[in-house]
Amino acid sequence: MNTKQENIIRTDYAEVMQKSYIDYAMSVIIARALPDVRDGLKPVQRRTLYDMYELGIRYDRPYRKCARIVGDTMGKYHPHGDSSIYDALVVMAQDFKKGKNLVDGHGNFGSIEGDGAAAMRYTEARLEKLSQEVFLGDLDKDVVDFMPNFDETEKEPVVLPVRIPNLLVNGADGIAVGMATSIPPHNLVEVVDAVKAYMKNNDISVKGLMRYLKGPDFPTGGIVVNKDDLLKIYETGTGKIRIRGKVEVEKLKGGRLQLVITEIPYTMLGANIGKFLNDVATLVETKKATDIVDISNQSSKEGIRIVLELKRDTDVENLTNMLYKKTRLEDTFGVNMLAVADSRPETLSLKQIIEHHVDFVFEVTTRKYNTLLSKEMEKKEIQEGLIKACDVIDLIIEILRGSKSREQVKKCLVEGVTQGITFKSKVSEKAAKTLRFTEKQATAILEMRLYKLIGLEIQALQAEYDETMKNIALYQDILNNYDSMANVIMKDLDAIKKEYGSKRRTAIENAEEIVYEEKKMEEMEVCFLMDRFGYMKLIDKNAYERNKEAAHAENKYIFTCMNTDKICIFTHNGKMHTIKVADIPLVRFRDKGTPADNLSNYNSSQEQMLYVAPMTQVINSSLMFVTATSMCKLVEGAEFDVAKRTIAATKLSEEDTLIFVGAADEMEQVVLQSTGGCFLRFLKQEVPTKKKTAVGVRGMKLPPEDTLEAAYLLEPRQEYTITHHEKPYSLNKVKLAKRDTKGTKPRL
């Protein structure tokens, strides 16, 4: 009887998880998220461009459907889903995302304002001339290694033979596991000049390189305002670049002005343009930018144009500074020049990126000219054979006529074997025995056409041979002489610069820190109203006096406060949210208010308001806190005088909630009511004053499963009546007892 042996490997679970996660992380880092320093491309970009090249979708041929490109790329090279491939294709076609487009898109490829591209079945694409000639041009010359694809049915290039530092020209961004890359785009002309400077002097410093490469050149333009920080950023590969949008002032009829934003920070791309417009609208609504009359986005295919119409005597400089300070019109671009170098992720300086690229270009150029040289050597061999054959053509014709097979002729031409061949004379046979053509030469002679024997054709053959010898000498010089190869590379770079170069779009300067003097708010007393749905508004005191009855009928919280104050909202989960009164809109009495959710961190779907009061009132009094488990305490209001928008107003035990918060200074007694219908009345002085971080003391002894339902603070000598079991009940009738005793049920 055969028994199957089990091979059980015992190992530590933590070790297996650690090894598996590291393998996964490295796979994401190397094979998906980070670009290669040599061609500046992520695998998905490289595979998409190579697939378009293989499909013949060239810049001078018709566009093809993106769905075809995506499907072919996914089926052959990139089995990670169609959305990642199409997203990469779209970005390579958007002129506002990259320094140089690599794909020529036809159709809706999205907009600078964040509109998405149309579905891949509607859009079409083809290679740009730059990517076809500079990125893929020499693939047929064995310049890079090829590797099997995921199912080993196709071959794909390990790296593309890109002849410019694409990592700098187009930049890169990507999030891997535990690391991310963010490289800004640069100007092609400046990058080429920096590469040439490095090739002429390998010891050049980053500062020396920056004489040629001034800094980033974003496709959206803008102004880099921290020029002095760039040297450190390019030396270390990390740092922050500050960018501002470009603002122009235009004069209108009647002496009015308008601010026109013609260039935006690169970080404002997409949905952030809409956010900027909302931020400006908010500044207007909150009376911080009272000089802005109208906002309009007049951007089009011609470029960005955001217009802010202003009042007549506007302080334009101060308003512009406010926009830089309060919105994303000035923003930071975080630089982290991380790329895959020598098969491992590495943060690189500017010089290291150029160094890696130049080494790669020399390697590609060496392989290219080795391939060209071997082809010229083959041509030389054949041309020498044909020239030699022309000199003895009569003998060769005699061999052909006297032979019985092609193999017999070839053997005679290569080895001089004349056996079985009929010659006209012994002299011819003797001459035939001396023939020593190579295999390739013999094949070329046998395939030669008779018209090649015309005198002019023989001269042309000799001219071709002379040209071949010149090429061989040239290629050998390039391969054997560093300066010769460097000159070839630099000439190629100059040609690329001439054809594809463009003017710098981003200005680089040292700008002074923005100084914005916020106008002091004119202090005034206003009336705060909040209805039971949490909608709040401010109205003028006179408007309140005129509509006093309606105001009290429609609103839950009503009080007067200064417009420089804050509103405090205490909630059942022990939090206190604050809202600046200045942020609440001042409206007419009948206008609808703004939800508290929109002006603070308060969430009406998850929190319940217990107490709303102005900050000045809160900090000048003591507050009583009571929880569902009957914990109570007094807290000095000064503890709530904080700058944060949300704080923990009290400490709660697990699964406990607040049921009451209220000002206690003018109060004398506390009444607690349980869900079981018990009441307990005791003096306020029995409740200790504690810190807001304390839990408090027990107010009423509750039977099991019972909780507090409500708490009341009673003023001295005042009748306080509630509805209990649908009947009026005076809390003053509750027997005065001690704190931490059992409550009593009233007789109704």
Residue 391 to residue 395: CA distance in whole angstroms: 9
What one-character DSSP code corresponds to residue 131?
I
The identity of residue 482, as a single letter, is Y
Structural contact between residues 335 and 462, judged by C-beta atoms closer than 8 angstroms: no
DSSP 342-365: TTEEEE--HHHHHHHHHHHHHHHH
Q: How far apart are the first and last CA of the chain?
A: 90
Instruction: State CA 64 to chain mean position distance.
Output: 28
Sign of CA dihedral 695, 699, 704, 710: negative
Are 36 and 49 in contact, with CB atoms under 8 Å apart?
no
User: Does the annotation mark 482 as catalytic?
Assistant: no
Report the amino acid identity of residue 427.
V
Q: In angstroms, rounded to a whole number, what is the distance separating the alpha carbons of residues 227 and 745?
A: 77
Q: Looking at 122, 234, 324, 516, which residue is catalytic? A: 122
Give pairs for 704-709: CB < 8 Å, separation 24+.
706/674, 706/675, 706/676, 706/678, 707/628, 707/629, 707/630, 707/674, 707/675, 708/626, 708/627, 708/628, 708/629, 708/630, 708/659, 708/672, 708/673, 708/674, 708/675, 709/659, 709/673, 709/674, 709/675
Contact 698, 633 (CB under 8 A): no
CA atoms of 487 and 93, how far apart (whole Å):
33
CA–CA dist 615, 559 (Å, integer) = 12
Strands of 46-193 (E only): list them: 64-65, 103-106, 124-127, 146-148, 155-157, 172-175, 180-183
Residues in contact with 591: Cβ distance below 8 Å, sequence separation at least 6, in sequence order = 537, 585
417, 401 contact by CB (below 8 A): no
- Looking only at the bridges linking them, the beta strands covering 223-224 and 535-539 are unpaired
Catalytic residues: 122
